[in-house]
Amino acid sequence: MLQLSIVKLEKGRTGVMICAYMLHKSLVADSTTALNYYGEKRTHDNRGVTIPSQKRYVDYYQELVKFNLNYRPIGIIFMLNTFRTNST
């Protein structure tokens, strides 16, 4: 049985994750190469990830990979306080 899924994704956020994956798996040497490769394959005008903050996060991830920095999740406790007044 053949199953096909077609999903329309935005190129920016998807590109950030794909570029990060390529860096993580050492498929590319650096973030610039990852971004250029993604742009060539994803779009006709070589404009894959275009938003500066998204490009910056690919650069940040490159630094994590380059220096073997391990991300350790931290726990966060949320507390909800509700205050009520008596209106008499």
What is the mean pLDDT for each group of 10 consecutive residues in the chain (88 residues)?
56 90 94 95 87 96 90 80 74
Residues 6+ apart with CB under 8 A from 70: none
Report pLDDT for 5: 46
pLDDT of residue 83: 76
Cα–Cα dist 43/37, whole Å: 10
Q: How far apart are alpha carbons 15 and 13 in whole angstroms? A: 5
Task: For the chain, give every domain's residue range.
Answer: 11-66
So what's the pLDDT on residue 79? Answer: 79
